[in-house]
Structures are given as C-alpha cells and as structure tokens.
A = this chain, B = another copy of it.
C-alpha cells in the first residue's frame, strides 16, 4: 500500500489546540495516511527565538498528531512571507506530499485562481520577490479589487504562488482557522483556542492556569519543564555584536542596507533593554517585524548568500511509526539529501547557519541542538 501525505508549514511556537484541530481537519478532508510538518527551527518568522527549542516543539507536534517533522531551515524561516512560503513548499514537495493544508480566515477563497492575476511583466514579478507582502496587496487590489487583509490570507497567497512556480506539485487545501485571531494578545477565558502570541506571553509570565485550557497536556508539560527563551535573553549578545561590529561588517549581513546599520548601532549603545532598543530603532519605514528579523540576522551573523540559498537538505526532527514508514517509502526518491543525524559534513557545509542558530541557543540553555542529535520518536504514552 502506498501511503499518502498531507503537508503543513508551521512554527508550533508553541503547539496549541488550534493546531491539533487543523491536523484533524486535514486528515478528514484528504483521507491522507500521514501528516507532514515543515516546522521552523530555533528562530521563527517574526524574527524571534522560538519559545521552546525545535526538539521540544517536535515532540509536542508528534503528540498532537503530526507524523513527520522536518526543519524549515533558518534561511527560510527568518524571512518575509514569500520566502518563508517558498521554503516550506520546497520541502513538502521534496517529501512528495500530495496536499498542502493551511489555515486561513477565508477558506472559500480560490487561492489558485489568484495566480491568474500575477503580473506578466518579469520585472514587476521580480520586484515582489525582493520586497514585501504589502506591495502585492496593493497590486492585487488594483488588478482584481480583492483585498488580502489577514496575515494568513497573505501567507496562503504566497503558498499558492510558490506552488505555482514549482510546477504545482501540491494540491492546496485552505482550512478555516478555529478560534482566536493570529495576533490576539490575550487568552479569552471561555474558549479552547488562543493565539500562539497570547500563549507565549502567558508562558513567559508563568500563567499556567490561562494556558491549560488552550493547549494539549503534552505542550503544557513541556512549557513548564523546559527552558523558555525570548529576545531579552539574547539582547546582551545582540547589543555587544552591534557595538563591536564596524558598519562595514554590518553591511555584509543579510538585509543590512540603506544606512540602517548606523541607526541600529546608535540604538544599541543607548538602550539597556531589548524593548527600548526596538523602540529606538523603529521608524515608519521599518516595521517592528522587519527590524526583529534584521536583529536576528545580526545576532546569527547571517550572510545574504546563506539566507537566499533556499533549503539544501531535509533535516528530520522527528516521526511517529507512520511517519517512519512514510520516510522509508519515499527515501529513495526524495529530491534533497535527507539528514537524520547532523554530522561534521553537515555542520561545516549546508547546515552551517542552522548549526550557529542552534549553538547560540545552546549557550543560553546548555541543551545541545544539532551536532550528533537524532530524530525524536513519538512517545505513544502521551
């Protein structure tokens, strides 16, 4: 029997009831045998360190119903929507997923049909690649009258676009999101759903009573028992890096252009906390998220070449028995090298950026992230 897979691009930062609901829906709607997740590693799309490390988040995802977790490399995760989406689609297509399921505020929108409105002028097209979602929003409104407002709609559009460009290997499956909006800041008492943002705030404050109703037990236990990280933990290093680098060095890093290096250096010297730094660094031109991504790129000393290379390998973070069977089924046909154990060749080669991104976390928590680590197996008692 050939197993069929539905893919999801996720961060699980942390895994909550909304994610579990999405996985159930994806299974029911497709009849897929396995659910595959391409998940951000230790740094996430909004330019922040993940709350828990990728191994804990993998274990929680497996407990929540995912069968196979591969790492969305730092180079794809720490990116604006179009590159984040392109990286995820590339991994899921390489893993021979049949469907791509994604949550959206408007599941009835025909994302594939939006592709008919892509600009035909290659120059315009390239411009979308280099800039941000907002540019495309304006274009689409002009061309079709359709306004993509919600963050997940925009992401959905970029999934469709990446899939289109890759020759449509995946069948798109937009799914209605359950519960709270993506950026809701607080947990509402009378529901089983909350945004990951609200859950992170509550977890950093140790408010377990608020979190308990909105996450599976396997997530709650991990949040209580593992080191949680956020930007303030990394701030002393970012500050030192900004102060000790000369502007010429900073300009060698990803997306550090247009004089932002001077403003970031000034803000670093003058700010004793990450919050005051961000306040000092923010302008109308640079969104909060964009500055956070620049800050993460500086902390990791990420170069343009490594950030723009796209996924170079499939790093397996964990699997269930079904996920392992699926891996066995496809392993001879995957289009990217499978990495099940990070060795020196990986560390000094294509995995160098991910290795640094993990090692910086290791300095803080003492928990090794990459070299020698092997995939997590699903704990069936959870």
Contact = CB atoms under 8 A, between A and B. Distances in A.
A112 to B, nearest CB: 40
Contact of A360 (B244, B246, B301, B362): B244
A276 to B, nearest CB: 14
Interface stretch (A20-28, A175-183, A214-222, A232-240): A232-240
A243 interface: yes
A301 B362 contact: no
A237 to B, nearest CB: 4
Nearest to A303: B246
A349 to B, nearest CB: 11
Contacts of A300: 244
A260 to B, nearest CB: 16
A243 B352 contact: no
A83 to B, nearest CB: 21
Contacts of A363: 236, 239-240, 243
A129 interface: no
The number of chain A residues touching the other chain, given as a range, is: 20 to 34
B356 A240 contact: no
A241 interface: yes
Interface string A345-382: 00000001000100110110000000000000000000
Interface string A290-320: 0000000001110000000000000000000
Contacts of A237: 236-237, 240, 244
A363 B270 CA distance: 10
A118 interface: no
A301 B356 contact: no
A244 B241 contact: yes
Nearest to A248: B303
A149 to B, nearest CB: 37
A96 to B, nearest CB: 33
Contacts of A245: 301
Interface of A: 236-237, 239-241, 243-246, 249, 269, 299-301, 352, 356, 359-360, 362-363
Given A239-B363, A243-B359, A244-B356, 9 more contacts: A236-B236, A237-B237, A237-B240, A237-B244, A241-B241, A243-B356, A243-B363, A244-B360, A249-B301
